[in-house]
Amino acid sequence: MTLTIVSLLPSLQNTNGDAENAAVLAARARWAGLDARVVAVEQAADLPERVDAVVLGSGSDASLDVARERLLALVDELRRWGTEGVPILAVGTGWELLSWGIERADGSTVEGLGIVAGRGVPREHRIAGDLVVQVPRIGLLVGFENHARDYVGAEASPLGRVRAGTGNGRRSGQEGVRMGDVIGTHLHGPVLAKNPVLADAILRRMCERAGLEYAPGARTAEVDGYAETARQAQLRAAGVNAAV
């Protein structure tokens, strides 16, 4: 069996390299001795027969309307995947497009697909900097946030609590949204390269659904050492004590 990771709209939604989260999943699966591939899906006709995970990266505001139109053709599949427990990782504007909608600073709105609770709303100043999040059963996640909108309406289902940075904003102290196996986050990095523990959690869920066993391979330990060095540097820069 070949695990198939779909990368949605990578030509539009890869501003911060977040579409490469799909490549991280595929690489770690192969290091574990599993067959895995990444399929780029720019339109409904590109969809493979089998989907084991979905990655939707972040794009520019200039491409929001085009990205929304393409995603609308996939809304039935996205809802089905979310209901069936297919892991979906959406970052930045990709996450916002799966929400109830996006309010722009000029007063216009982009209607979301309604896959996850909440919406993006304008903030006075753009946020850019280190973001550290404490996630239940996962631990500390690190990344870089860069967004001009806060996210409201996800208070009952956040991904985690902010230890450093802004996250969803509006003094919520929360970051992201998690509804079943659908995750939305502001964490760029890409998030799965910087946080192997989250990548492995997604891979275990993928393998569970596929009837496979997942055990990180020998190469994984070497790569995770590099990631941990980068994580510790970012935690120090953000003033976060990982031992707390």
Q: Where are the domains of the chain?
A: 2-238
* CA–CA dist 74, 205 (Å, integer): 22
Mean pLDDT of the chain: 96
* CA–CA dist 184, 5 (Å, integer): 17
CB contact at 8 A, 189 and 142: yes
pLDDT (mean) for 45-51: 97
Per-residue pLDDT at 243: 66
Give percent above pLDDT 70 in the chain: 99
* CA–CA dist 145, 147 (Å, integer): 6
pLDDT (mean) for 19-39: 98
* CA–CA dist 50, 213 (Å, integer): 18
Query: What's the sign of the alpha-carbon dihedral 23, 207, 79, 73?
Result: positive
Give phi and psi for 205, each to the nearest 5.
Answer: -65, -40
pLDDT (mean) for 134-146: 96
* CA–CA dist 105, 92 (Å, integer): 16
* Angle in degrees, 0-180, between the axes of helices 75-84 and 64-72, rounded to the nearest 10: 70
192 in helix, strand or coil?
A: helix
139 in helix, strand or coil?
A: strand
Point out the residues that are catalytic.
188
**Predicted TM-score (pTM) above 0.95:** yes
Domain 2-238 has CATH 1.10.1330.10: no
Kindly give the residue spans of alpha helices, DSSP state H, lying in the chain: 21-31, 64-72, 75-84, 93-97, 191-194, 196-210, 218-238
* CA–CA dist 87, 182 (Å, integer): 6
- Residue ranges of the annotated binding site for substrate are 126
- Residue ranges of the annotated binding site are 126
Res. 241 pLDDT band, cuts 50 70 90: confident
* Chain segment 207-238, per-residue pLDDT in tens: 999 999 999 999 999 999 999 999 999 999 99
* CA–CA dist 221, 223 (Å, integer): 6
pLDDT over threshold 80, residue 244:
no
